[in-house]
Amino acid sequence: MPPNKSPFPSLLQAALLVVALYVLEMLIGAGLYDARNALGLSLEQLSALEALLGNGIVISVALHLQGSGYRDLVHPDRKSLWPTLVMVVPPVVLLMPLIVLLDMTMMSALETLLPLSESERQTFGAMSTQTLPMALIVCVIAPVVEEMLFRGVLLRGFLARYPRGQAIGYSALFFGVAHLNLYQFCLAFLLGLLLGLIYERGRSLLPCMALHAALNTAVFVLSGASDVAAGTADASAAVAPAIPSIAWVGALIAAGIGLVALQKTLRLWPSRL
């Protein structure tokens, strides 16, 4: 990248990247839809291809514009690979139980204030379909490609262009908006702030991918269990289950341990901001 050229992307360029991603996924889906029967693809498998191909193209173009490559995207410093896997990833994953409980509480409150429409219920139901292709999309593909795009490309570019706090906030905002609904926006934005802070401190996508994957997997499994329970209960009595106090206590203890460990390794809250 020429030294006099502003780091990529700007806010406008980031918005165009996200729009381009959705347009590409729609075009890829439309192109493969008629051929899916001949190829023996289910709708879930088609969605996986859309996500992989669409994100692959957009991320590749973005990395070219940044003058970088996939080799340096996930974890640039090879010397710190094992310390990151051993000392950073486990404490990060310890934050997951508390985030899941907060997500359940937040979703319940939002659904009380703004009941889901039928189309939204169908969309969320499709995302929790307990099939192997959908599990692969939710638990593996989405965490990897979303972290590569929103933290590896957008946040990395923002950090070279804007002050630290603004860069993390902007990337979290794009991450939230990209989910295209208010219910997921709230958690995605808050999660984006946390993931952005972790990435900014460690400059590795591995902890971000680990937390994102653990969270998606937990929500996916719990959604499947909730669907089974709802199918065996009176529909009129279907309400959000109360979360036992012991679950909150355990989640808070785990998160506390994780945050203390992360403060020691990454200094999440440095003395000088």
pLDDT of residue 242: 77
Residue 219: inside a domain: yes
Which tens digit of pLDDT belongs to each residue from 13-29? 999 999 999 999 999 98
The reported pTM is 0.91
pLDDT of residue 272: 56
pLDDT of residue 4: 56
Residue 106: inside a domain: yes
Token duo for residue 163: 């002050």
Low-confidence ranges of the chain (pLDDT < 50): 1-2, 232-239, 273
Q: Which residues contact 214 (CB under 8 A, 6 or more apart)?
A: 93, 96
Nearest to 143 by CA among 93, 78, 77, 84: 93
pLDDT of residue 238: 38
3-state secondary structure of 34: coil
Residue 50: inside a domain: no
Identity of the residue numbered 26: M
Residue 261: inside a domain: yes
Residue 10: inside a domain: no
Q: How many domains does the chain have?
A: 1
Inter-CA distances, 192 with 9, 133, 171, 179, 229, Å: 18, 25, 7, 12, 31
Residue 217: inside a domain: yes
Residue 248: inside a domain: yes
Residue 63: inside a domain: no
What domain range is 179 assigned to? 77-227+242-266
Distance CA 259, CA 147 (A): 21
Nearest to 141 by CA among 47, 40, 17, 24: 47
Which tens digit of pLDDT belongs to each residue from 127-146? 778 888 889 999 999 999 99
